[in-house]
Structures are given as structure tokens and as C-alpha cells.
Chains A and B, each alone.
Chain A
Amino acid sequence: MGRLRGLMVPERTVRVRINREECEGPLRCGRCLRRCPAAVFITFPRAREKGKICEDWEIAVDDTFCWGCGLCVRVCPRGAITLSASEGST
């Protein structure tokens, strides 16, 4: 934990990167989201309009919460996820 002005933030020790060109998308696949024990993957609709359902969802990673187990790398059917040590921490 780092502490700045009373706000606590976990130290980022690992980087999780998704190759978006390979990724099938969270709604069609979503294996990483469903399996991650720390639930670091986040998905959200790209646009939201009243009265409409959005089918185009973006995927992102909040890797400060990552514990580094590597399960996501193994469950990704396209090998789109890589895990590496964080270069320089907060």
C-alpha cells in the first residue's frame, strides 16, 4: 500500500495486458472475466442510449488489484492476455 494525502492505493506490482486484436470480446467469450478470482477485468458498453441495448462492450483491466495467479492467461482461448512484472511501481 502506498499512502498519499491520506488516500490509500494498492501498489501496482503486475501488468495485465489484453491484445484487443485477438480478443473475442467480453460478451461473446468472457472467460477471463468469469474466472478471475480478484475480478480485475471490467467490461462496459461503449455507448449507452435511452431505450436501446448496446451489444458493443469494451474490456479493460484494473491490474492494481491483480494477485498475479495467471489463470487468465491459461483460460484465454486466443492467447490474448499477457502477464508481466510492473516496471516501476506507484
Chain B
Amino acid sequence: MCDWCLKHGEGKKWYLNVKNYSGDFLKDKAVIESAIKFFQNTEIMTGMAPPMVEEALNLKSDEEFSAMASSVEEMIKNLSPHQGQVVPIEDVREIIKLAGPMARVACVCRRMLRASFDEKTCIIVGPVYLEYAKEWPDFTRGGIEYLSKEEVLELMEDFDRKGYVHTFWKDMLSPAVMGFCNCEFPTCAALRYRRNLGDWLNFFLRKAEYVAMIDYDKCTGCGRCISRCQFSALTLSPYLGKAILDMKRCAGCGLCRNVCEEGAIKLVPRTEVPAVRNLW
């Protein structure tokens, strides 16, 4: 946990602190401005505005690249240390208990990467983001569908079975909650940068508070878990005849655990594993 988490989690995980779901954020001008900025510039905020990417790629000399790198570093410093975090299904259930009104909209990333408004995997969580999303029909294109807590839970469990990684997002500047995404590689801005660029852009999507651990004695090498990993952390070792897990890559989403028939995979708190406790 970082200083930001300690401050806004008040001893708990930040997303389990009821204050971050408060309607008081609706009176906070800075939070509302930040939400509007997000709806106005979704592509830039998710790092997928092509002119930006192109510009970075066309830099020829090391000096130019270094200048770009320092401006990115400077920009990151001004934002809060994480925007989103991977959450396993058990924490999703806890979040839904705390959450206010919720609605699903077309996935923010898939619309940019697949020109599709059919995959409604983004679940906006009130108050601020749900209230202001209505004013941006371009953002709610494909429809906005209000859901009860039970419906959201059922939906999230469906996504879990399908193999989508659950992530929970917050406002760019404040701890006000934004909503759930259900992500996959490569059609997710956060996951593609995690996998394609390595960990230096990790402020955008932090790994879960957990990490998976395999009980190698129980593993039969059936390979079911391997097809579930969106972070390329699992491999089938032909020599060992078992699934092997690169815990440094593991984001702790728990998808592999959910299909293990032997119960060989469990999630343990990241802070209890010295090798990965500082890898977020």
C-alpha cells in the first residue's frame, strides 16, 4: 500500500472505504471538473489518443526521447499514484455492497480499438461519474442501462466465467470512485500498456492487493488456468508437467484460481510475499 492508499483507505483498502463513494463529491467543484475533463478527453486520459502516441514514436534522437520521458514523468507525478486497480471477484462483491447507483455503458476501450459499442462491460458507479456521464451522449453511445446491485453482481460473475479481468477505477485527481471495467488483452488500454510496455506505466493500473500462489503438489498440469491469464504470467512446463506461475507478472486477478478444479491456486495478500510486496 502506498501513502495515497493509507490516506484514502483509512486502514482499509481504498476501494473499501465508504467515504470514497460519498455524495459529497457532487459539491466539490474540482472533482466535477475532473469528471467533465474525462468525458471530454477520454482518449487522452486513457493514453490512447493516436496523435500523442505517434508523436512519441516519431522522436528520432535520444535527447528528444529523454525530453519526452521527463515530461511524461512530470505529468505522472501530478496525478494520484493510481487510477485503477485489479480486483478479484471477492472484492468486487464487497465493492458492490458499498456502491450507490450503477449503470453499464459500452466499453471505453473497445469502442476505440474495435469501433464497437456492443460490448457493455463498463459499469459506472455513482455518484459523480454516473451523474455527469448523462451529459455526454458520445460517452454513453450504445445506451446506458441502469442496474440493481444483484444485476451487477450477476453480470460481474458472468464476466468472470468469460475470462475478463475486473478492474476498479477512480477519478484522476480525487479518491471519488468511477466504476468497474472488465478487461482483456489487448483490447484494454491498461492491460495492453502493462504487457506491451512493461511496468513503468504502472500508475495507470495497479496490480491487485493479492497475488496468486500455486500449490505445486496439487497441480495436475491440466492447463485450464493458463488460458485464463491475461497478464502472460502462467506457462505450462512440459518438464514439470505443471503450470508454472511468474509471480512477478501476476496481477492477482484470481481468474486462474476460479477454474482450478484441484484447488491448487489461492490468492494471498501481496504484502505477505516478500518477492512481490513492492511490485504494484
* A interface residues, Cβ below 8 angstroms from B: 1, 4-10, 12, 26-27, 30, 33-34, 37-39, 41-45, 48, 50-54, 57-58, 60-62, 64-65, 90
Whether A34 lies near B114 (C-beta < 8 A) is: yes
Point out the residues of chain A lying under 8 angstroms from B41, CB to CB.
Answer: 48
Whether A8 lies near B50 (C-beta < 8 A) is: no
With A and B bound together, what is the CA distance between A6 and B76 in angstroms? 14
**Nearest-CB residue, chain A, relative to B70:** A5
Interface bracket on B: 35 or more
A-B contact pairs, 21 of them (CB 8 A): A7-B69, A8-B197, A8-B198, A8-B200, A9-B57, A9-B197, A12-B57, A27-B115, A30-B116, A33-B113, A42-B50, A44-B50, A45-B138, A48-B136, A48-B138, A52-B137, A60-B51, A60-B54, A62-B53, A64-B57, A90-B57
Whether B50 lies near A6 (C-beta < 8 A) is: no
**Nearest-CB residue, chain B, relative to A31:** B115
Whether B138 lies near A52 (C-beta < 8 A) is: yes
B66 at interface, CB cutoff 8 A: yes
Point out the residues of chain B lying under 8 angstroms from A48, CB to CB.
Answer: 40-41, 136, 138
Point out the residues of chain A lying under 8 angstroms from B112, CB to CB.
Answer: 42-44
Smallest Cβ distance from A42 to chain B, in angstroms? 5
B43 at interface, CB cutoff 8 A: yes
Whether A53 lies near B113 (C-beta < 8 A) is: no
With A and B bound together, what is the CA distance between A61 and B137 in angstroms? 26
Whether A4 lies near B137 (C-beta < 8 A) is: no
Nearest 9 interchain pairs by C-beta: A60-B50, A30-B115, A8-B198, A39-B113, A26-B115, A39-B186, A33-B115, A44-B43, A5-B69
Whether B137 lies near A51 (C-beta < 8 A) is: yes
B32 at interface, CB cutoff 8 A: no
Smallest Cβ distance from B276 to chain A, in angstroms? 19
**Nearest-CB residue, chain B, relative to A33:** B115
Point out the residues of chain B lying under 8 angstroms from A58, CB to CB.
Answer: 50
Interface bits B41-84 vs A (CB < 8 Å: 1, else 0)? 10100001111011011000010011001101000000000000
Point out the residues of chain A lying under 8 angstroms from B278, CB to CB.
Answer: none
Point out the residues of chain A lying under 8 angstroms from B115, CB to CB.
Answer: 26-27, 30, 33-34, 43, 57
Point out the residues of chain B lying under 8 angstroms from A8, CB to CB.
Answer: 197-198, 200
B62, B112, B137, B187: residue with the most chain A Cβ atoms closer than 10 Å:
B112
**Nearest-CB residue, chain B, relative to A4:** B65
Smallest Cβ distance from A15 to chain B, in angstroms? 10
With A and B bound together, what is the CA distance between A53 and B136 in angstroms? 8
Known interface pairs A27-B115, A34-B115; 16 further A-B residue pairs with C-beta atoms within 8 A, sorted by A's residue number: A4-B66, A5-B70, A9-B56, A9-B57, A10-B196, A33-B113, A33-B115, A39-B113, A43-B113, A44-B112, A45-B138, A50-B40, A50-B136, A57-B115, A60-B50, A64-B196
Whether A33 lies near B114 (C-beta < 8 A) is: yes
